[in-house]
Structure 1
Amino acid sequence: MRRRKNLRPDTRSTRIGQSGFTLLEMLIVIAIIAVLATLVGPRLFGQLDSSKVTTAQAQVRMLRTALDTMRIDLGRYPTEQEGLSLLVTPPEDPALRASWFGPYLDGSVPLDPWKNPYRYRLPDTPGGVAEVYSYGPDNAEGGEGLNADISSTR
């Protein structure tokens, strides 16, 4: 007797060796990821805020050091009108330009981590030190915690 060939492929044999995720398994994985993101996300954003404060503190110290170096060369700090730009741009006055050995920074004067310009204040007393500061993330004077001002003199 002759055996008849089955024209339909055996679906069981084609599934052997194939693997994949079911819809239920995918939903469970997505739910686990969502729970982890909810728990870990706020901590990561808190670290981001404190790292911006640390970056601003380092930049304030760097700007203050550059100002002190320029003061040694020029014999004075820049006026508030000249500001921090005198660290990278030579003065207009030819007498001062002769003793300006800048630029005292690579590139331009940086912005703080919140994209605001650093502020500069001359010392109140002769022989005092200039202050470089940022108002922090709230860009307002004062503040507490992460919103506190960041200064080279504090």
Structure 2
Amino acid sequence: MKGNFQRLECSGSWEFPGFGKCGFTLLELLVVLLIIGILISLGAGGYALARRSAKEGQAKADIELFRNALEEYRVEYGRYPPAVGPVAVVTNVLSPLVSGELQAVDPWGRAYQYCSTNRFSYVIYSQGIDAEDDADNIDPSRVGY
């Protein structure tokens, strides 16, 4: 084993026969770190997108369950339940029907919204990732869902 490599006195590096000095320059290390950083950022971005898509999918599935409960209500009473105000919290409207079967809040922690425009129609939606604007509301009845 001693004959295969020898320690260089000046730098503390190892020298292998046929390979020359082993070690990396600072530039090579920086390039490797840059590549690792790019891969991590791509992975984190993909993870965030997948997480958001999963939450939107959960909200859509919850809304479909609420719609089924609303249809049961309409079959039983001949109309959709009235909203208490312009917009009501879904569980307040559906509590007689669902009895704890459905989640009261969307994946972002806010209550699902219900608006009954008249006896025969309604709108049910989640406010989405931010409650600030309507652009990201989760409403499967909108075009594109």
Q: Into which bin does the TM-score normalised by the smaller protein fall?
A: 0.5 to 0.7
Task: Select 1:130's aligned residue among 122, 135, 142.
Answer: 122
Please identify which structure carries the higher helix content: 1
1:76–1:109 Cα change, 3 Å: farther
Residue 136 of structure 1 deviates from its aligned partner by: 0.6
Q: Which deviates further from its counterpart, 76-85 or 66-75?
A: 76-85
- 1:55 aligned partner: 58
CA RMSD of aligned residues (A): 2.8
Higher relative contact order (CA 8 A, sep 6+): 1
Query: What CA distance in whole angstroms lies between the structure 2 residues aligned with 1:103 and 1:38?
Result: 43
Query: What CA distance in whole angstroms lies between the structure 2 residues aligned with 1:65 and 1:78?
Result: 13
Matched, 1:67 2:58: no
Query: What CA distance in whole angstroms lies between the structure 1 residues aligned with 2:122 and 2:63?
Result: 11
Structure 1: gaps spanning 5 or more residues: 1-23, 91-101
TM score, norm. by length of structure 1: 0.57
Q: Is the 8 A contact 1:87 1:105 kept in 2?
A: no
Query: What CA distance in whole angstroms lies between the structure 1 residues aligned with 2:138 and 2:103?
Result: 17
- 2:131 aligned partner: 139
- 2:139 aligned partner: 151
Query: What CA distance in whole angstroms lies between the structure 1 residues aligned with 2:99 and 2:75?
Result: 12
Counterpart residue type for residue 42 of structure 1 = G
- 2:98 aligned partner: 103
TM score, norm. by length of structure 2: 0.60
Q: How does 1:35-54 map to 2 (within 5 A)?
A: 36-54=39-57
Structure 2: gaps spanning 5 or more residues: 1-22, 24-28
Q: Is the 8 A contact 2:62 2:103 kept in 1?
A: no
Q: Give the length in aligned residue pairs.
A: 109
Does the residue aligned with 1:113 lie in a helix, a strand or coil? coil
Identity of aligned residues (%): 27
Residue 112 of structure 1 deviates from its aligned partner by: 0.7
Which structure has the greater CA radius of gyration? 1
Please identify which structure carries the higher strand content: 2
Counterpart residue type for residue 134 of structure 1 = S
Query: What CA distance in whole angstroms lies between the structure 1 residues aligned with 2:76 and 2:47?
Result: 44
Query: What CA distance in whole angstroms lies between the structure 1 residues aligned with 2:133 and 2:72?
Result: 28
